[in-house]
Amino acid sequence: MDVTDSKGETAFHYAVQGDSSQVLQLLGKNASSGLNQANHQGLTPLHLACQLGKEEMVRVLLLCNARCNMAAPCGYPIHMAMKFSQKGCAEMIVGMDSNQIHSKDPRYGASPLHWAKNAEMARMLLKRGSDVDCTSASGNTALHVAVMRSRFDCAMALLTYGANAGARGEHGNTPLHLAMSKDSVELVKALIVFGAEVDAPNDFGETPAFIASKISKLVTRRAFLTLLRTLGATCSLPPTQGAPAEYGSVASPHPCSVERAQPPAISLSSLELEDLVHVSRARKPPFLLSSTRDEKRTHDHLLCLDGGGVKGLVIIQLLIAIEKASGVATKDLFDWVAGTSTGGILALAILHSKSMAYMRGLYFRMKDEVFRGSRPYESGPLEEFLKREFGEHTKMTDVKKPKVMLTGTLSDRQPPELHLFRNYEAPEAFREPHISPNVNLKPPAQPSEQLVWRAARSSGAAPTYFRPNGRFLDGGLLANNPTLDAMTEIHEYNQDLIHKGQGNKVKKLSVVVSLGTGRSPQVPVSCVDVFRPSNPWELAKTVFGAKELGKMVVDCCTDPDGRAVDRARAWCEMVGIQYFRLNPLLGTDIMLDEVNDAALVNALWETEVYIYQHQEQFQKLVQLLLSP
């Protein structure tokens, strides 16, 4: 069994290429060096089985004690399985030897994650504990490789599992530096959305924007530079012989660090045609703020989060910007947090000290589990997700600070009634539901008896998307923008304290921040007329009109903008409360159950543009939140 042929192959190599695993079992009954013999290409039988994707052969070889740590020019067997995207083979190897997930191939010093060619293979390794930011011998991470190979889906999988979008690799290049040589606007947007800095220089002092300015393909250069200008890119003319010193020099090791005079304004047309030397921008507003937050401040801050399904990613991006500018976690910036549906889930995430960067990746990963099949979706995956994140037995009152309220709709009565899931006792004088003579209406459980995951599930039971959770429907039916209801609740809470003789504990609101999940563009509607048809043409018009009218009614009931915002702003101004409504206008209508990564990345890109364009508003907000 140790005899080799002219190619250096043993009987084990032949058995792997055959169709019968029983032959392989027969050969492996007795110990033989042929089991781990490498042929002239450096491949052992296990390498060959992984290359061919023969899972049963891999299983038998592993049972016969084939070694997983035999190196070939392409690496170990698991590297071979990753190279040819043989998921089953890779899973068997990792199952037999979990350390193989961290193995480095001898040629590049790369982990199996570096070899992943698609999102499925990358996720398989990441779920089993692969280091998402592990570096190769050249210093590159798996994200660098995915960008170099233009693997958008793979890059998205890595980013959603926490890959560092600003990691410095070979020659100090970040993934964004490498993306500039690829013709993929979606990839560039994704990296920036997940935190890549356009103005970060590599070891040669080149920023990604500088590299973009040298792209030879006009269409690509125009697209990338337009993106950068949208977020405030500042441009300078290329230096010429005898140019003033203040403009810097190409030979400067770090041109970004050289102080320059203000360059002359450049029109977009000349920007596209000139081979610019330097393009950079300041993504972060120039806040020179130190945290002066006082634990004993005399006024409260309220954060309100709209409903909107997976569009909660927009809220997350806005919160990340606020946290980045203030240097303080959301939990410590606000005393009250109100949320509806997806906003309720995020309110609970804030309560449980989960970072917004983590929640961003979690939303991208969770959507594919939850929105599977057709509507209404199975509730199981959503409930498992909520239990996993918040605990199966955690009660609403287990975490006290900040005070959190989630909206839900009690649908076991007519008319339905708004219910608030709280992590504090409801004001006694205003307990829900309101006193009713009907003894058949059962009151909801008290906060100390309500499970966190059930509260989140009830608040997010959007009709036609998920089945009701018992008698609860989505809170968005009555309060998709919970601002006014939250302000009412705080007033009632304070009035109750005064009634109990505890007026010294009352804190007035000073700041209200309302975050939306993105406004959809308005579109014209041709007909909302519903009438008794007299011919087939009128029947078609009636059906179309009924559909448009039904959609209009639902949109009006659940609209978080428009008059809902106007009323909240007016009430705040009347009582001297600072009110901030942050809600970017999206270019396309994003559905609550959108699963397309590119569409969601584009929505977050538009949110980034909105944040940049409203720098002054963010600056004022952060200053107020940090003041005692």
Per DSSP, the residues of 442-489 read PPPPPGGG-BHHHHHHHHT--TTTS--BTTEEETHHHHSS-HHHHHHH
Q: With contact defined as beta carbons under 8 Å apart, do 619 and 287 qualify?
A: yes
Token pair, residue 285, equals: 């507003």
Q: Is residue 198's pLDDT more than 50?
A: yes
Tell me what the mean pLDDT of segment 599-617 comes to: 91
Tell me the backbone φ, ψ of residue 429, rounded to 5 degrees.
-70, -10
- For residues 71, 72, 74 and 75, what is the CA-based torsion angle, rounded to 10 degrees? 0
Average pLDDT, the chain: 80
Q: Which residue has the higher pLDDT, 410 or 158?
A: 158
The domain made up of 1-103 is a member of CATH 2.40.30.10: no
Q: Is residue 250's pLDDT more than 60?
A: no
Residue-wise pLDDT tens digits, 555-571: 555 556 667 788 888 98
C-alpha span between 500 and 364 (Å, rounded): 46
| The architecture CATH gives domain 108-236 | Alpha Horseshoe (1.25)
C-alpha span between 177 and 171 (Å, rounded): 10
Tell me the pLDDT band of 189, cut-offs 50, 70 and 90.
very high
Residue-wise pLDDT tens digits, 497-542: 888 888 888 888 889 999 999 887 765 655 555 556 666 766 666 6
Q: Which residue has the higher pLDDT, 464 or 292?
A: 464
Closest CA to 486 of 589, 352, 344, 371: 344
Q: With contact defined as beta carbons under 8 Å apart, do 150 and 220 qualify?
A: no
Tell me what the mean pLDDT of segment 77-81 comes to: 94
Model pLDDT, residue 307 = 87
Model pLDDT, residue 504 = 82
What would the DSSP string read from start to end of 196-234? --TT---TTS--HHHHHTT-SSHHHHHHHHHHHHHTT-E
Tell me the pLDDT band of 136, cut-offs 50, 70 and 90.
very high
Domain locations along the chain: 1-103, 108-236, 300-430+446-519+561-626
Model pLDDT, residue 496 = 85
Model pLDDT, residue 427 = 79
Tell me what the mean pLDDT of segment 205-212 comes to: 82
Q: How far apart are the first and last CA of the chain?
A: 80
What percent of the chain shows pLDDT beyond 70?
Answer: 79
Residue-wise pLDDT tens digits, 287-341: 433 333 445 567 889 999 998 889 999 999 999 999 988 888 899 999 999 999 8
Tell me the pLDDT band of 602, cut-offs 50, 70 and 90.
very high
Q: Which residue has the higher pLDDT, 142 or 223?
A: 142
Q: Could you tell me which CATH class the domain 300-430+446-519+561-626 is placed in?
A: alpha beta
Tell me the backbone φ, ψ of residue 614, rounded to 5 degrees.
-115, 40
Q: With contact defined as beta carbons under 8 Å apart, do 323 and 334 qualify?
A: no
C-alpha span between 353 and 87 (Å, rounded): 35
The yes-or-no answer to whether 1-103 and 300-430+446-519+561-626 have a common fold is: no
C-alpha span between 221 and 239 (Å, rounded): 20
What percent of the chain shows pLDDT beyond 90?
Answer: 38
Please pick, among 306, 335, 474, 485, the residue that the annotation labels catalytic: 474
Q: Is residue 248's pLDDT more than 60?
A: no
Question: Any catalytic annotation for residue 341?
Answer: yes
Please pick, among 341, 458, 459, 514, the residue that the annotation labels catalytic: 341
Question: Any catalytic annotation for residue 275?
Answer: no
Pick the range with the lowest mean pLDDT from 120-134, 264-278, 431-445.
Answer: 264-278
Sequence length of the chain is 628
Q: How many beta carbons lie within 10 A of that of residue 569, not counting itself?
A: 17
DSSP state of 106: T
Model pLDDT, residue 10 = 93
What would the DSSP string read from start to end of 394-437? -BGGG--SSEEEEEEEE-SSSS-EEEEEESSPPPGGGPSSPP-S
Model pLDDT, residue 268 = 36
Q: How many beta carbons lie within 10 A of that of residue 471, not counting itself?
A: 16
Token pair, residue 563, equals: 């008059």
Tell me what the mean pLDDT of segment 471-488 comes to: 80
Q: With contact defined as beta carbons under 8 Å apart, do 293 and 328 qualify?
A: yes
Tell me what the mean pLDDT of segment 87-112 comes to: 92
Model pLDDT, residue 182 = 87
Q: Which residue has the higher pLDDT, 131 or 226?
A: 131
Q: Is residue 609's pLDDT more than 80?
A: yes
